């Protein structure tokens, strides 16, 4: 059972994998709006969505919420997370501990991953380099050959299955009609999504002539959305597999743009990417990486057509969750998302770098 936010008085109720339940009270903080936004991010970090699975671990994050809201309120900030700016965050993080900075950074990243509600520069800043050292973190051992093979095979399976489902969904959409007049069928749901884009269940219901509750009761909407548009799980699988095929480092892959692709022939791509440790580099992609990139561009084409101008330029686009119109791009939540993905699919217990 996932963690649950209690609105009045503000609190978070947690149920961990060992059955232990704990509630943390956040009532009486000077900025409950910011505190609630941070709680939204915290819920995403707690089991079963994330890796926090004990009261002591969650307690550090709750204390960080209290510290951040009180410190910012003392400087005159009483807005929500969407009102934050990099300068204000920098001032807070420079003056805080490594633990407080790390916890609040991760909650803001998770909040943006779910809601897309942070300003672009704030989301990028929260995903950037920390000001404070967070202790000695020994380098993780490299993957064994068996783990590497399992990672590639897991990615390959997700890539193949998600693309096949997408192609079938597009074909079904071509046979569909408007569900308001012609019924609640799989083909009609996909037909309407192809025209509306990755809307929420509430907005879908408005167009289909029913309530959000009726959309959920009738079923099929989330599955249709997951097949029509790339989910975050599929996006991660494509990115990891592309790294395995191309040999490009993760920080070069995460921020790729469509304009970085130089088609030098039917089966040849020269890819330019920014390697943050050095500078811009170029590589001629191997054939299997070219085919994977072509497939990704086909898979993400429908979603890309509904994205704004900035998002459309990004190579990697995916929905945070099926039925949630939050398009993820770049590396703002990449590390955290990949950590959860690797654990969820049983590839390895440690985080992928």
Q: Is residue 331 part of a domain?
A: yes
Residue 227: CB atoms within 10 A of its CB come to 24
Q: Which residue has the higher pLDDT, 268 or 296?
A: 296
Q: 219 and 242: one domain?
A: no
- Residue 236 in tokens: 């991660």
Among residues of the chain, what percentage have pLDDT more than 70? 84
**Whether residue 90 is found in the same domain as residue 152:** no
Write the CATH number for 264. Answer: 1.10.443.10
Lowest mean pLDDT among 31-35, 72-76, 271-275, 300-304: 271-275
Number of domains in the chain: 3
> Is it the case that residue 110 has pLDDT exceeding 80?
yes
Percentage of the chain beyond pLDDT 90 is: 52
**Contact partners, residue 205, CB within 8 Å, separation at least 6:** 211, 212, 214, 215
98 is a domain residue: yes
| pLDDT value for 277 | 43
Q: Looking at residue 114, what is its pLDDT?
A: 84
Are 72 and 153 in the same domain?
no
Q: Is residue 171 part of a domain?
A: no
- pTM given for the model: 0.68
Contact 108, 81 (CB under 8 A): yes
If residue 318 lies in a helix (H) or strand (E), which one and from where to where?
Answer: strand 317-319
- 253 and 289 together in one domain: yes
Q: Are residues 333 and 214 in the same domain?
A: no
- Element housing 22 (H / E): strand 21-25
| Lookup: tokens for 140 | 């993780």
How high is the pLDDT of residue 266? Answer: 56
How many angstroms from the chain centroid is the CA of residue 25? Answer: 27
Q: Within a domain: residue 139?
A: no
Residues 325, 327, 332, 335: is their CA dihedral positive or negative? positive
- Which pLDDT tens digit goes with each residue over 270-322? 666 544 444 456 678 888 988 999 999 999 999 999 988 878 888 888 887 66
pLDDT at residue 350 in the model? 44
Is 318 found in the same domain as 257?
yes
Name which of 88, 86, 70, 75 is nearest 34 in CA terms: 70
Please report whether residue 136 resides in a domain. Answer: no
Shared domain for 234 and 198, answered yes or no, is: no
Tell me the average pLDDT across 209-214: 92
Alpha helices in the chain (DSSP H): 32-45, 55-74, 86-94, 98-115, 120-126, 145-175, 179-182, 186-196, 201-208, 212-218, 221-228, 232-246, 250-254, 287-299, 301-306, 309-313, 334-344
Spatial distance between the Cα atoms of 86 and 158, rounded to a whole number of angstroms: 36
pLDDT higher than threshold 80 for residue 124:
yes
Residue 89, both tokens: 């965050």
Residue 198 included in any domain? yes
Higher pLDDT, 128 or 84: 84
Per DSSP, what are the bridge partners of residue 12? 5, 24
Q: For the purposes of burial, counting CB atoms within 10 Å of the CB of 299, is it exposed (0-12), middle (13-18) or buried (19 or more)?
A: buried
Query: What does the H/E/C string look like for 176-244?
Result: CCCHHHHCCCHHHHHHHHHHHCCCCHHHHHHHHCCCHHHHHHHCCHHHHHHHHCCEHHHHHHHHHHHHH
Distance, CA of 200 to CA of 208 (rounded, Å) = 12
User: Are the C-beta atoms of residues 190 and 224 closer than 8 Å to each other?
Assistant: yes
Asked if residue 318 lies in contact with residue 235, where contact means CB atoms within 8 angstroms, the answer is: yes
**Are 240 and 308 found together in one domain?**
yes
Structural domain range at position 152: 145-162+230-344
Q: Which of 90-104, 156-170, 184-198, 261-275 has the lowest mean pLDDT?
A: 261-275
- Whether 63 is in a domain gets the answer yes
292 domain residue, yes or no? yes
> Rounded to the nearest 5°, which phi and psi values hold at 318?
-160, 155
């Amino acid at each position: 059972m996932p963690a649950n936010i209690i609105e009045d008085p503000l609190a978070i109720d947690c149920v961990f994998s060992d059955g232990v339940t704990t509630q943390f009270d956040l009532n009486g903080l000077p900025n409950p709006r910011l505190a609630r936004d941070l709680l939204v991010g915290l819920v995403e970090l707690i089991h079963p969505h994330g890796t926090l699975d004990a009261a002591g671990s969650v307690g550090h994050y709750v204390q960080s919420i209290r510290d951040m809201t009180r410190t910012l309120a003392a400087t005159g900030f009483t807005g929500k997370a969407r009102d934050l700016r990099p300068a204000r965050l920098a001032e807070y993080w420079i003056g805080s501990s490594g633990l407080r900075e790390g916890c609040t950074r991760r909650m803001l990243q998770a909040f943006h991953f779910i809601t897309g509600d942070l300003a672009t520069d704030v989301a990028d800043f929260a995903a950037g380099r920390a000001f404070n050292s967070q202790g000695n973190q020994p380098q993780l051992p490299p993957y064994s050959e068996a783990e590497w093979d399992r990672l590639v095979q897991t990615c390959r399976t997700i890539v193949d299955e998600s693309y096949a489902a997408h192609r079938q969904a597009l074909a079904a959409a071509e046979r569909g009609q408007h569900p308001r007049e012609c019924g609640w069928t799989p083909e009609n749901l996909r037909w309407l999504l192809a025209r509306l884009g990755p809307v929420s269940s509430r907005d879908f219901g408005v167009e289909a002539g029913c309530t959000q509750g009726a959309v959920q009761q009738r079923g099929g909407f989330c599955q249709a959305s997951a097949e029509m548009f790339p989910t975050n799980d599929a996006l991660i699988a494509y990115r990891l597999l592309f790294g395995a095929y191309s040999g490009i480092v993760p920080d070069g892959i995460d921020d790729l743009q469509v304009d970085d692709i130089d088609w030098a022939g039917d089966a040849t791509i020269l890819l330019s990417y920014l390697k943050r440790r050095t500078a811009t580099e170029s590589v001629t992609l191997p054939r299997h990486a070219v085919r994977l990139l072509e497939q990704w561009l086909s898979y993400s084409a429908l979603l890309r057509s509904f994205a704004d101008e900035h998002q459309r330029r990004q190579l990697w686009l995916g929905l945070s969750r099926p039925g949630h119109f939050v398009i993820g791009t770049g590396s703002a939540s990449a590390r955290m998302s990949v950590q959860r993905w690797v654990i969820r699919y049983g590839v390895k217990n440690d985080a992928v770098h």
